Amino acid sequence: VQLVESGGGLVQAGGSLRLSCSASGFTGDDYQIGWFRRAPGKEREAVSCFTTTDRSIWFRDSVKGRIIISSDKAKNTVFLQMNSLKPEDTAIYYCAAKGVSDGRGDYYYSPFCGSFGSWGQGTQVTVSS
C-alpha cells in the first residue's frame, strides 16, 4: 500500500490550505484514512479520523470548526481542508490508513479511531504569525 500527501506550504495566520492524500495498492475501497501531525519537538498527534464506533468523524478539539475532510473515491484521494490556520498548526502532516501495515513497524493507536500502520511521507505546513 502507498499513501502520498501533497498540498503543504507556507501560509499566513488566518489562511487556508488543502492537503491531499492519494492512496494506491489497497484491496477494495473500504479503507479508512486518518490525518495526523507532528509539530517540532512534540509527539505525533491525531488530527482527524473516522471513529471505530459509528464511523463518524473525530476531530481534535484544537481544530474543530476549522477543518473539513472530504474524499474523491474515483481518484482514491482524501482531502483535508484547513481554514483559519494558526501558528500552532505548524507541523508535518501525515495521512495514514487504519488496519493495514506498510511493513515499517510504525503504528499509532487512537482510542477513538483505532490503529494506523501505513503512512505517507508527510507534507510540511508552516503558518506564520
Answer positive or negative: Cα dihedral of 41, 47, 19, 108.
positive
pLDDT along the chain (129 residues), means of 10: 94 98 76 91 93 83 94 88 97 93 88 91 97
Query: What local confidence, expressed as pLDDT, does residue 4 receive?
Result: 96
Query: What local confidence, expressed as pLDDT, does residue 29 receive?
Result: 57
Can you read off the three cell numbers belonging to residue 64? 474543530
